[in-house]
């Protein structure tokens, strides 16, 4: 494999630039992508799967895949929704239905690419191994179990996933370190740098529609959750808005389905509430990019992240950053030098940075530095090329294996 397999250790984003040459992909093999998150959901993992599918399509790579069905599905995506009927055993049902679809599609499936430690991933990777196909596992972020028994179950699932995959990849060195020495490839997330780019036209349009005039604008994009630090950002903005009348906050995204709701009025005083613009979920990436272009600073005070796509999108749009001082943020901002770091959960630290920003703005070189870093190191095309190199290596390995395609192939087997 062109990219070297490595033990988990800390690497800078520069060191992890996906510079592998794209290996030729067999024309008769589908890459089967599975994810436990609906692709219509506002989440970095869902967006990465959509970006990967789009980039692979542009390279002529055939894809089939499954995720939980939602009320709306993204147009043009080849990863399809699986209807689930169970209320209490949805993860198990998703795992069984995904494994069944892989078996039915086995004539076309070349390998399975599963995302996250999940029962679906374990079932998909085990089924892929059962029929002699390859398996790739990508871990985006590590999460803590909500109870001790869930933790025990999760450890079993993690073990099954790790030992059923031919190759394990992570999106950052911080996530790789959490795997405690398991060999991994690190493939940083990538964004569509042609969609996410600075636009004066969009900046003027959005600022005019919101009445922002020439005021300073901070933007948050993502799930409205305490894990993302939106509550801390709102509290800090309230303090800053009381001292600076020419600062606004845009909030893009939607409420987290698994957390108590966050209401701006619970954190921001009535006198400043009219400067908090709750945008909500936008219809497509182009509109997200347009709203990012209208801002002057991107804020992401998360408690934990793998490789936050929203932050990369903001960088690609030429926005300076203020982010929590956690591993992946520290690696990105210290390497590229286009933002401020504050301690996780430190409202006073956020207040100091936002007050400085309100008074002085960000250093004038930061927007171009942020854009250049995204273009050079975090494009969706580069991410897809890195995954294609992994796919090609796994397919080659599996084809040389005596047990390749052990199960008999039915004539009527189809990929859909």
3-state secondary structure 377-410: HCEHHHHHHHHHHHHHHHHHHHHCCCCCCCCCCC
Q: Is residue 253 part of a domain?
A: yes
Q: Is residue 183 part of a domain?
A: yes
Q: Is residue 19 part of a domain?
A: no
Neighbours of 281 (CB within 10 A): 12
101 and 212 fall within a common domain: no
244 and 372 fall within a common domain: yes
Domains in the chain: how many in total? 2
pLDDT tens for each residue of the chain, 416 residues long = 444 444 444 344 444 444 444 444 444 479 999 999 998 776 778 889 998 999 999 889 999 999 999 866 777 889 999 999 988 899 999 999 999 999 999 888 999 999 999 999 999 999 999 999 999 999 998 877 667 888 899 999 999 999 999 999 999 998 999 898 889 999 999 999 999 999 999 999 999 999 999 999 999 999 999 999 999 999 999 999 999 999 999 999 999 887 899 999 999 999 999 999 999 999 889 999 999 999 999 999 999 898 999 999 999 999 999 999 999 999 999 999 999 999 999 999 999 999 999 999 999 999 999 999 999 999 999 999 999 999 999 998 877 764 544 444 333 333 33
215 and 182 fall within a common domain: no
Beta bridge partners of 125: none
355 and 292 fall within a common domain: yes
Looking up residue 292, the CATH number of its domain turns out to be: 3.40.50.2000
223 and 183 fall within a common domain: no
| Cα–Cα distance measured from residue 233 to residue 182, given in angstroms and rounded to the nearest whole number | 36
113 and 150 fall within a common domain: yes
End-to-end CA distance of the chain: 30
Q: Is residue 359 part of a domain?
A: yes
| Cα–Cα distance measured from residue 118 to residue 122, given in angstroms and rounded to the nearest whole number | 6
146 and 231 fall within a common domain: no
Q: Is residue 61 part of a domain?
A: yes
167 and 265 fall within a common domain: no
Runs of H (alpha helix) within 337-379:
347-360, 366-377
Tell me the residue range of the domain where 104 lies.
30-190+379-399
Beta pairing class for 321-324 and 297-300: parallel
166 and 225 fall within a common domain: no
Q: Is residue 108 part of a domain?
A: yes
149 and 267 fall within a common domain: no
Q: Is residue 279 part of a domain?
A: yes
104 and 141 fall within a common domain: yes
169 and 213 fall within a common domain: no
In angstroms, the Cα distances linking 27 to 110, 113, 117, 244 are 10, 17, 29, 59
């Amino acid at each position: 494999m062109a990219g070297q397999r490595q033990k988990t250790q800390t690497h800078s984003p520069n060191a992890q630039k996906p510079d592998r040459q794209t290996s030729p992909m067999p024309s008769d093999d589908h890459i089967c992508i599975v994810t436990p998150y609906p692709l219509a959901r506002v989440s970095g993992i869902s967006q990465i799967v959509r970006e990967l599918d789009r980039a692979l399509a542009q390279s002529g790579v055939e894809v089939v895949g499954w995720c939980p069905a939602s009320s709306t599905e993204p147009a043009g995506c080849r990863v399809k929704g699986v209807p689930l009927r169970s209320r209490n055993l949805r993860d198990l049902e998703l795992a069984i239905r995904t494994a069944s679809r892989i078996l039915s599609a086995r004539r076309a499936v070349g390998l399975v690419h599963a995302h996250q430690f999940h029962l679906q991933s374990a079932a998909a990777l085990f089924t892929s191994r059962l029929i002699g196909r390859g398996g790739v596992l990508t871990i985006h972020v590590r999460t803590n179990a909500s109870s001790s028994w869930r933790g025990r179950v999760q450890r079993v699932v993690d073990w099954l996933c790790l030992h059923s995959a031919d190759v394990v990849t992570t999106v950052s060195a911080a996530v790789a370190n959490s795997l405690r020495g398991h060999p991994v490839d690190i493939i940083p997330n990538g964004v569509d740098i042609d969609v996410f780019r600075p636009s004066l036209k969009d900046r003027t349009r959005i600022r005019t529609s919101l009445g922002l005039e020439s005021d300073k604008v901070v933007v948050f994009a993502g799930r409205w959750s305490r894990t993302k630090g939106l509550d801390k950002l709102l509290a800090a903005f309230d303090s800053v808005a009381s001292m600076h009348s020419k600062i606004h906050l845009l909030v893009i995204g939607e409420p987290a389905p698994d957390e108590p709701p966050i209401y701006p009025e619970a954190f921001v005083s009535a006198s400043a509430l009219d400067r908090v613009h709750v945008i909500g979920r936008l219809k497509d990436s182009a509109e997200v990019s347009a709203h990012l272009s209208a801002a002057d600073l991107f804020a992401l005070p998360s408690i934990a992240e793998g490789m936050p796509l929203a932050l990369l999108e903001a960088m690609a749009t030429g926005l300076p950053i203020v982010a929590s001082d956690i591993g992946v943020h520290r690696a990105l901002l210290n390497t590229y030098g286009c933002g401020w770091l504050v301690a996780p959960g430190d409202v006073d630290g956020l207040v100091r940075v936002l007050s400085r920003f309100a008074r002085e703005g960000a250093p004038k070189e930061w927007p171009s530095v942020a854009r250049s870093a995204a273009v050079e190191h975090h494009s969706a095309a580069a991410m897809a090329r890195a995954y294609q190199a992994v796919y090609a290596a796994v397919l080659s390995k599996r084809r040389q294996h005596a047990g390749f395609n052990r199960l008999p192939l039915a004539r009527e087997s189809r990929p859909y």
